[in-house]
Structure 1
Amino acid sequence: MSSDPWGRVDETGTVYVRTADGEQVVGSWQAGSPEEALAYFERKYEGLVVEIGLLEKRVKTTDLSAKDAQVAIDHIREQVDAHHAVGDLDALRQRLDKLVESVDKRREERKQQRAKQSDEARHAKEALVVEAEELAQSDQWRAAGERLRALVDTWKGLPRLDRKSDDELWHRFSHARSAFSKRRKAHFAALDAQREEARKTKERLVSEAEALSGSTDWGPTAARYRELMAEWKAAGRAQREHEDDLWNRFRGAQDVFFAARSSVFAERDAEQSENLKLKEELAHEAEKILPVTDLKTARAAFRSINERWEAIGHVPRDARPKVEGRMHAVERAIQEAEEAEWRRTNPEARARAAGLTGQLQAAVDKLRGQIEQARAQGNNAKADKLERELEGRQALLDQALKGLQEFGG
């Protein structure tokens, strides 16, 4: 009989293994010595140890599924429970039990992870649906269309949910895309109709513009071209293949008219520039009349200059105010001289001015006497009031004296 800490061989060749539940028969050995028998079954034990070690490593370091790991554990456990090895089988059972715990823990972790991923996928798809429904109302056709296509690609990359939830969300998502496509189609159909209407309008405007291009009625025709341009802008754009051609015809007709008008206006401008030089010379001659010393001579000289002025044609519009202003200044100076002469030679006006001055002077003298009397009586309040009244009367008197001087004293 032979034995070791975990097993023995009896005299009949039966091999036993020691466990917590007592000795268990491992098998029968008749081919050699008891030592060889124990060594054989110990090697079986080492094989189980190695197998368990490899499985532990796979569970720890690879993505071995819980199902496959459990099958492998059960396979090894069957061998351990069959007691066909000599060694610490209870320790192997404990390792297998811990391995089961690890696998269960991993299974639970993966379950939670899948639940988390599913929850994240649900939130992601709900967010996609909300954005798609918002985009369905957008009028940014190009940008919204591109974004909806990107949302579809994102959707395809997300995990599926349970059938009911996934179908409900996809229905909303698909409906939003369809609604946007329907609105966009209607928009561009309306836009095509508008562009066709714009083409017809612009065809009419081009026809009128071409008919007017030979007109020499410069003012009204130029005004009509401005109206046609306003109508052109208000008409909107025609189809791309028509817009440029219509515009070139419309613009070309205007160019013909305005080129002809510019040629005529250039000749007129040259003539008016010459007229301006002549009028500037006359204005300079008129300014030499000033200051007026002899009214009769000044009046005759200005009349002669003005007759020559009237015989000259138009000058450029922008130069007209300045040159005419110079002549008007001389004319006003002569008129003022005439008015001053009239005042000097009008006895009735001079008498009225002298009478007014006398009345004001008497009123001022009277007020001064009243002020002196009030001061002498100690009535300063009355004196102050009378002085304020005196200031007003004195100002009127000064103005009347100035007017009287214009009559010659």
Structure 2
Amino acid sequence: MFTKIHVSKSNFIWIKWTKIMICSLLLGFTASLFALIFKHVTENYEHLLYNRALHAPALFFILPFIGLTVIYFLRLYVFKNRKNKGISEVLEAVYVKKKLPAFKIPSHFINGFLTVIFGGATGIEVSTVVSTATMGELASTKDTIFKKYKSEFIGGAIAAGVAVLFHSPLGGLFFSLENIVRHKKKTNEFFVIHLASILMSFGILFLFDEEPLFATSITNWNYSALPYLLLLAVTASVYAVFLTKTVILIKGKWLQSAKPFLQVTTGAALLGIVLLFQNGLYGDGYHTIKSFLHMDNSLLLTYSLLSLGLLLVIKPIITAVTLSSGGDGGVFAPSIFAGAILGLFIGILTKNYFNPDVYLLNFMIVGVAVTLSATLHAPLTAVFLVCGIFNSYILLLPLLLFTFISKYVSKKVYPYTVYTYSFRLQKQKD
């Protein structure tokens, strides 16, 4: 015979909040540690293979074949022959109650790792977002109390993962707010879960003494640069639309009538040819940004604007080809790469012909922020992620101003991001 146990309302509330807090802390710790390991493992082997290819250039052509072919067969025989759809599948989980199956964690980890280290022109950011979102989904199934907070746990896990990748807990929080749960009601549970998760991300960053991605020494900025930074913001808005439409168009049309393996090999061949002549586009391209950051200004000013322009044109195309050929990733890292190159391009023009007192480094930093903002339609995410990866808040005010401008102009020109467009298409199919 069962005995009914009476639990008072106050005890139930205490139990509920205790469980939510413990689960959020554990989730934040797990997502943060996952992102930390993913980041370092990928970075280490990307640099190893890139340096090998520098000494044996034929590898720039061969490596994409290896990476994309292995991903193709893994997807076919190990991961249920399902394509990874990136952030759009997270939005489906949050807004149309689709599930993120557990295999998404190893699938995105392995495929994202293979894509980047073998030269695919994207990054691990989107792979991290989907993997950590899956952790949030799984956490929400562990107790009946958690089931109604599925989107909160997904958002909290993503916030922790992104915070570690970019050395910015605030960046992780705003990424979730602006890109994942933007249209969800913000309850007390939402803020507790998110704050507990990013608290753990801060702890992981502190515990492992993580270095920012592009640590720099910014000392100043001057008001005379503002008109040129405004030009950069508007240009970045138009460029972000070009990047978005290029990825959407190529992914939608890429060898539609061809067999899947032919799509993979053709994409690998095209990517390999490009890398032979433009190896700065290898992988996420962060090594190229670092090389520019460490160059002397006088050397940067002699850099060919034609070469920079070529990088800007080619980057969206080979990113789209990488993704269309089965590579795992998105437009996060390409936006960072293109933003730095675009900022350098506008900065060199400005310093050489209009205002010699501007700082090229500042143009690169603002370029990253305004391009990210315009591509993701997420200005606060862009501001705090950029402050985190460059380890400086000196440019906070101009960043706030110009990221909102770039987002507004970009959204006026084209109202979708790569992810919201894919989500909209999926909803129409359903």
| Structure with the higher helix share, 1 or 2 | 1
Could you say which structure has the larger radius of gyration?
1
| Structure with the higher strand share, 1 or 2 | 1
By relative contact order (CA 8 Å, sep 6+), the higher-ranking structure is 2
TM range (shorter): under 0.3
Task: Normalising by structure 2, report the TM-score.
Answer: 0.16
Task: Normalising by structure 1, report the TM-score.
Answer: 0.17
